[in-house]
Chain A
Amino acid sequence: MNRRLRELGFGLLSFVAVLLAVVLITSLPVAALAALLVLLAAWMAFTRVGQQSWSVTKVGIATIPQRLGSSSVVVVGIAGVVGVLVALLSMAAGFETTLQETGTDDTVIVMRAGAQAEINSVVDHDTAVVVSQAPQVLHDAAGRPIASPELVVVASVPKKSDGLDGNVEIRGVGLRAWALRPNVKIIAGRTFQPGLRELVVGRRAAAQFRGLGLGSTLKLSGQVWTVVGHFDSGDSHNSELWGDADVVASAYRRGNSMSSISMRLTDAGTYEALKASLTTDPRIKVDVLTTRQYYNQQSERLTQAIRALGITVGVIMAVGAVFGALNTMYAAVAARAREIATLRAIGFRGMPVIVSVLLETMLLAVLGGAIGAGLAWGMFDNYTASTLGNNFSQVVFAFNVTPALLLSGLKWALAIGFIGGFFPALRAARLPVTVGLREL
């Protein structure tokens, strides 16, 4: 009874130890992990037990080629987990950055109260005039407010990939749109001329949809429009087609009402004052957001959903990989039972044995993690995909495999390796010497 109680206590204790270690590995910053690694190296170099651990580890690593098949289970299993995890999270990161880079703190967007997205919003001419006369709006050299009344409509255009119709966003912009968004550069052709049915096409949209090359024509609302240029903004505007707001409005019979007004502030600090004055103005009913707030809101839901999916899939796969690693390492320990028992018989303590099995597993795990992260990076970094954004139109974004994601992938690998190595290590160290010596 007493012995079973002790076993139970030991089991619980080791479980808690593993849990602690996993939390530690996944939550510690890189610098702390690196410091731990240096400490470990120092311990191995300068203490007697450490030196013993190192020599036992060397034996373990040297015998890996003899059990290549089973060791590759650890490597491939963990590569799979890390690869899938990094790929899915890089999709979320890519979408998030694309939308977040579209917004800044010193530009604001004004929409009808409650509209949530530009496609839902209608702002009439009087409101537009009141809004752009706010004193917080920056004026250009000629003394005109840097404000762009914009009209967002959606058109169906066949996609290059499958020929099915996709929704592309057409943004009618005011004359000051270029001063408002200095990051937007014409990369081919020229800009549209005010008053004409001409369009400039975002780089991503041009790549996604058919018939948006320079000089090609497009039938919108029964009229023929010409593509006269391509632009690159580096953000989600790249998925849009831009034309003169007034011409778009007349083509879509919107009179002189717009969807939104975007404006540049004299200073990011004036936002609160602008918001207070516009939302309390009895003549108009509007919502005022910095463009950063607006585009963050737009990316929030999808980003969270993809992250949740990535982590769920990652956790389930990680559970599978942990059992694979356990299998492999138990087998490895069993194969080396006699050797380990011999070491203990000639005076080695349990510690070097535990450390060596753990180190070996984590080495395999890091190798797997690096392969998985490398594959995800090679296959998916800058891979472009698109989804339906809040304006009911396609938003193209590129997967973004960031260094932070690669690191967190490696941390997952370390954590899986730790769990997979810890229990076999314990068994190896606790196996009675006499049993071990008889083993084969």
Chain B
Amino acid sequence: MKYFHLVWAALFRRKTRTLFTLLSVLAAFLLFGLLDSVRMAFTNASSSIAAASRLVTMSKLSFTMSLPKSLLTRIQAVPGVAEVAYANWFGGIYQDPKNFFPSEAISDNFLDLFPEWQLSPEQRKALHDTRTGAIVGASLAAKFHWKIGDRIPLQATIFPQKDGSNTWTFDLVGIYHVSDPKLVSQENALFFNWAYFDEVNQFRVGSSVGWYTEKLQDTRRADEVARAIDALSEDSDHETKTQSEQAFTASFISQFADIGLIVGSIMGAVFFTLVLLTGNTMAQAVRERVPELAVLKTIGFSSTSVLNLVLAESVLLLLLGGVMGLVMAGVVIDIVRAKLGTSIPLASLDGGIWLRALALMIAIGLIVGALPAVRGMRLRIVDALSGR
């Protein structure tokens, strides 16, 4: 640490060159921050602890098929099931299909199973008491500037009303929050009462539901309970598939795209370029300073110290640029969130992303510093001083 000023001075010996290299490192880690945040948003969606304690039961044929409501009491009776709720996909459109957000009709007790969505007891009661009531997540409300008391018209895509009208109007009675920053994308949905859905719907859905969600008494018995639930309807015409909410989300996401592959290949290209670029800068920097390094050795610096000095310089370069890049990524993510809500999957830059980024910075710093540093270490004082 006592040589810090020496490393610092060496780093800014050529200000323009260091500045340009810093800016490229910054660009690379800005990109890393953004892409890793996208990747984490997808990973987080399927890894919450609360989701592990819940099972989802859907039609085995496909999740677009409905299940009979008569299963409710039978699932309730399965040992290990603490509570069962049901819901149905609504698929409403607000003003324009581009404004897509999930909308679902939910049973009375549905919210009991999702403690991670925080809704005040008064608003919860208001939802229960208002037939046409609906609740939305805080970021969705912010995106469309909705406040409690607003009437929200949604265009039905699947379920016209009995009178043939396609417009369902909901009274906004509550706004829920998700405090875990990893799950903040769940604030992007609208939920409303099953009773209203059932009553006004043109199609008789009274006897069928979209899916069941079960809360487990003991998470460790998840597989056993899932098998018991599926056994209820085995060989009937409505066979079910029960899996943990995590597994369901993971398989759903895997159908969209191989996010990992896309993000991984972009990052590969970015970092390969970066290594070459900073490596070249470091090589130049050391080549220019050969006589200076020789002077250092002459006045008593050991070969190892010279090696360490050069390595420290390149790691410092990467850290400076990288940290600025990540900070900038954080700012960009905040701006995008404020403007577009959570409809773009971006996770906050949490400890995990920072750790991975710092590890990468140090690793790349060491890699690009290695060759020039070894060169500096092996200098023969006589040759270097005479400029050979």
Asked whether, in the complex, the Cβ of B255 is within 8 Å of the Cβ of A394, the reply is yes
Verify if A187 is at the interface (C-beta below 8 Å from B). Answer: no
Which of A20-28, A162-170, A194-202, A239-247 forms contacts with chain B? A162-170
Write the chain B residue with the least CB distance to A376: B269
Residues of A within 8 Å of B16, CB to CB, are 330
Query: CA–CA, A319 to B166, complex, Å?
Result: 49
Query: CA–CA, A165 to B158, complex, Å?
Result: 24
Verify if A55 is at the interface (C-beta below 8 Å from B). Answer: no
Residues of A within 8 Å of B269, CB to CB, are 80, 83-84, 317
Verify if A256 is at the interface (C-beta below 8 Å from B). Answer: no
Asked whether, in the complex, the Cβ of A114 is within 8 Å of the Cβ of B91, the reply is no
Query: In whole Å, how far is B24's beta carbon from the nearest beta carbon of chain A?
Result: 4
With A76-B276, A320-B24, A323-B27 known as contacts, the answer to whether A120 contacts B256 (CB < 8 A) is no
Verify if B113 is at the interface (C-beta below 8 Å from A). Answer: no
Which of B4-12, B46-54, B60-68, B119-127 forms contacts with chain A? B60-68
Which residues of A65-90 are within 8 A (CB) of B?
69-70, 72-73, 76-77, 80, 83-84, 87-88
With A156-B61, A327-B20 known as contacts, the answer to whether A387 contacts B255 (CB < 8 A) is yes
With A114-B156, A116-B157, A321-B273 known as contacts, the answer to whether A73 contacts B31 (CB < 8 A) is no
Which of B135-143, B189-197, B278-286, B309-317 forms contacts with chain A? B278-286
Query: CA–CA, A320 to B20, complex, Å?
Result: 9
Asked whether, in the complex, the Cβ of A319 is within 8 Å of the Cβ of B251, the reply is no
Asked whether, in the complex, the Cβ of A320 is within 8 Å of the Cβ of B60, the reply is no
Asked whether, in the complex, the Cβ of A120 is within 8 Å of the Cβ of B17, the reply is no
Which residues of B1-57 are within 8 A (CB) of A?
16-17, 20-21, 23-28, 30-31, 34-35
Query: In whole Å, how far is B47's beta carbon from the nearest beta carbon of chain A?
Result: 16
Which residues of A370-391 are within 8 A (CB) of B?
385-388
Cβ-defined partner of A166 (8 Å) among B20, B26, B237, B255: B255
Verify if B274 is at the interface (C-beta below 8 Å from A). Answer: yes
Residues of B within 8 Å of A119, CB to CB, are 64
Residues of B within 8 Å of A156, CB to CB, are 60-63, 241
* Chain B contact residues, majority secondary structure: helix
Which residues of B259-296 are within 8 A (CB) of A?
265-266, 269-270, 272-274, 276-277, 280-281, 283-284
Verify if A115 is at the interface (C-beta below 8 Å from B). Answer: yes
Query: CA–CA, A97 to B20, complex, Å?
Result: 40
Query: CA–CA, A153 to B62, complex, Å?
Result: 9
Query: CA–CA, A166 to B97, complex, Å?
Result: 25
Asked whether, in the complex, the Cβ of B64 is within 8 Å of the Cβ of A316, the reply is no
Asked whether, in the complex, the Cβ of B280 is within 8 Å of the Cβ of A154, the reply is no
Write the chain B residue with the least CB distance to A116: B157
Query: CA–CA, A144 to B276, complex, Å?
Result: 68
Cβ-defined partner of A331 (8 Å) among B17, B35, B241: B17
Query: In whole Å, how far is B173's beta carbon from the nearest beta carbon of chain A?
Result: 25
Write the chain A residue with the least CB distance to B21: A327
Residues of A within 8 Å of B20, CB to CB, are 323-324, 326-327, 330
Residue of B100, B265, B277 most packed against chain A (CB within 10 A): B277
Residues of A within 8 Å of B64, CB to CB, are 119, 153-154, 167, 392
Verify if B115 is at the interface (C-beta below 8 Å from A). Answer: no
Verify if A112 is at the interface (C-beta below 8 Å from B). Answer: yes
Asked whether, in the complex, the Cβ of B266 is within 8 Å of the Cβ of A84, the reply is yes
Query: In whole Å, how far is A246's beta carbon from the nearest beta carbon of chain B?
Result: 18
